[in-house]
Amino acid sequence: MSRPLPIAYAFDEEAAGFGAPQGTPGAPSAGAPLAWVALVAVALGVLSFAAQLAGAPHAGTWLGLLSGLPLAFAASAVYFWLGLQGTTPGIKHDGIFFGSMTARGTLAWFAGLGLTAFYVVLYWLPGAGAIANMQAGEGAPAQAKLWLLRWTSALFERAIGSLDPLALALSGKDADRWFLYGTLYTLAVLAFGVRMLMKYRHVRYQIVRTLSVMFFQLGFGFLIPQVLKAFRYPEYYFTYFWPLKYDYLFPSSVTGLWNTPGGVGVFMVVWGLVATFVATPVLTYFFGKRWYCSWVCGCGGLAETLGDPYRQLSSKSTRAWKVERWLIHSVLVFIVVTTAAVWLTRGTHSPLAAGLQKWYGFLIGAAFSGVIGVGFYPLMGSRVWCRFGCPMAAVLGVFQRCFSRFRITTNGGQCMSCGNCSTYCEMGIDVRAYAEKGENVVRASCVGCGVCAAVCPRGVLKLENGPTHADRFAGAENPVQTFLASLTQGPKVP
């Protein structure tokens, strides 16, 4: 092995010449017999689903449904539980920077490509009817393109059809591509939520927080919208509101909901307005943006469960911080302008408003939040969307930075500069720089996940809601002036 480089304040273990550890004490006990049984069940579930994609007779039946994706995800949850229950409580990050899946290796690239391809198909694959009516152009490339479209469409339609029994039971309607997406999304949050519960079982905050995102995704992000459809009400997601669910405040949506019989639509409109303009600032004042980003939001729920193995991949550089600051607030301005334009030109069929809606939906609602936001988990970390593009996170961040009682307090005298807190901050915050100085961590981007405190070996960090917002940092007593000044300054860290 080459001679190790001198260790600087911030260093890369691989570049410094340190190889993978010989052993990983305390790693998941995947060799346990029952854990192997769970892995076999995962394989059987995947094979059953693949058989249904190939047109097996049990496709579209309850037998096919239960023996496919639900079996694979449930068995995965059992595997996580069995693999971690025999270990001592504590964070299991041994070898995380040497694994192909967690260190941007070959497996991570394949996973990223697979997730990205899924979102591209989900958002932009034409319907089966449209593809069936397509005519191939002249030449082999055009014919190959049409064949690929038809083959992909056939597989996609079979995947959707495999969930018909569940969709009919919940909503009384056949499954569609969004039901497939919602099912996969919910199963991922639940299965990897079990992994989070076991991995962080020594931290009560993480247990309760994980149960919260699992509950809100299953109940409010999946079951309730489907049951509403069964009663012929609009499919409404109560945990998403403007500006994240941007179309909920568009005139067409407000009018459609308001005219829904029975008063349910009126309640939905009022709920959205209250959640956006009342609950958001009030709850953020008392609890910071964590009340939403780490406890309620489905995007955050997926990031905290499925995305947990990749949280260490977030960039902590000042350059990334500059991109984050300008990009996320540009998205917020984009949706504010779009919403204003739609309302000011309602009833006039304005091409400007229509164009803004179209491009925001394409660039932000689909490409950024889905294709990049989730597809790039294995390459850029689990909070790409939340950190760089989510307009809801931008709004919450402004309130948190200027008007919230929430802060992460530090005990600088106990900090030994191990860097765990910074390494596993999914939002790219250099927490260690604050801890070494004994300063409160008050950053607009912090989602309050608490993992920095969970991985600290000496209890240096603590998530707190103080008595007032004015005692968190120098200048906090003049929040507006401080906010305006921060627009031209960098993060105040050593």
Q: What is the 3-state secondary structure (H, E, C) of 156-194?
A: HHHHHHCCHHHHHHHHCCCCCHHHHHHHHHHHHHHHHHH
Give me the DSSP letters along 78-97: HHHHHHHHTSPSS---TTTT
Q: Please, what's the b/e burial string for 134-144 (b: 16 or more CB within 10 A of its CB; e: otherwise)?
A: eeeeeeeeeee
Query: What pLDDT is recorded for position 305?
Result: 96
Alpha-carbon distance 260 to 279, whole Å? Answer: 24
Q: Which amino acid is at 117?
A: A
**Residues near 466 by Cβ (< 8 Å), separated by ≥ 6?**
405, 406, 407, 472
Query: What pLDDT is recorded for position 481?
Result: 76
Encoding tokens for residue 276?
A: 């956006």
Question: Position of tokens 């008595």?
Answer: 467
- Distance of alpha carbon 277 from the chain centroid: 23
Give me the DSSP letters along 461-472: EEEEE-S-STTS
Q: Which amino acid is at 240?
A: Y
Encoding tokens for residue 48?
A: 């059953």
Query: What pLDDT is recorded for position 26?
Result: 47
Count other C-beta atoms under 10 Å from residue 149's C-beta.
16
Give me the domains of the chain, ranges plus CATH numbers.
404-486 (3.30.70)
Alpha helices in 345-383 (DSSP H): 351-360, 377-380
Judged by DSSP in three states, 406 sits in strand
Alpha helices in 259-316 (DSSP H): 264-274, 280-287, 290-293, 298-305
Alpha-carbon distance 289 to 173, whole Å? Answer: 37
Query: What pLDDT is recorded for position 492?
Result: 56
pLDDT, one tens digit for every residue, the chain (494 residues): 455 545 454 545 555 555 665 555 444 555 567 888 899 999 999 999 999 999 888 888 999 999 999 999 999 999 999 888 877 777 777 778 888 999 899 999 999 999 999 999 999 988 877 877 777 666 778 788 888 888 998 899 999 999 999 999 999 999 999 999 999 999 999 999 999 999 999 899 999 999 999 999 999 999 999 999 999 999 999 999 999 999 999 999 999 999 988 889 999 999 999 999 999 999 999 999 999 999 999 999 999 999 999 999 999 988 999 999 999 999 999 999 999 999 999 888 889 989 999 999 999 999 999 999 999 999 999 999 999 999 999 999 999 988 899 999 998 888 999 889 999 999 999 999 999 999 999 999 999 999 999 999 888 999 998 887 767 777 667 777 776 776 666 555 54
